[in-house]
Amino acid sequence: VTSSAVTVSHPTHSDDGATYHFNGIFDAAAEQRRVYEECAQPLLENLMGGKNALLFSYGPTNGGKTYSIEGTGDEPGVLPRLLSDLFERLEASPSVSFQV
């Protein structure tokens, strides 16, 4: 495991394996703010620049995907933070027109 990749090797055949690359890898102690700032906020920057953006959460059942995306009332997840930032930016740019 590195900061952007996970390599999975076969236990008995060292030549059988695969490396998977990610925008970010976080452990269970990662704060919601950090996940948002490292993964979603750059997508918002691209979106505001006219590019398309997609945020995809993938993992096993009970792996924390819903918590990461939605969060809690005290610790909002990626989606509430992203929407809040998006609408703040739209309100701060009254001369800019956006179509959804």
Instruction: Summarize pLDDT for 23-73 with one digit per residue, the tens.
Output: 777 888 889 999 999 989 999 999 888 899 888 888 889 888 899 999 999
Amino acid making up residue 92:
A
Q: Which of 35, 33, 71 is nearest to 55 (CA)?
A: 35
Going by pLDDT thresholds of 50, 70 and 90, the confidence category of residue 79 is very high
Q: What is the mean pLDDT of residues 14-27?
A: 78
Phi, psi of 22 (to 5 degrees): -135, 160
Going by pLDDT thresholds of 50, 70 and 90, the confidence category of residue 76 is very high
Write down the pTM of the prediction: 0.75
Instruction: Decide: residue 2, CB within 10 A, 0-12 exposed, 13-18 middle, 19+ buried.
Output: exposed
The pLDDT value recorded for residue 3 is: 67
How far, in Å, CA of 44 to CA of 53, rounded? Answer: 7
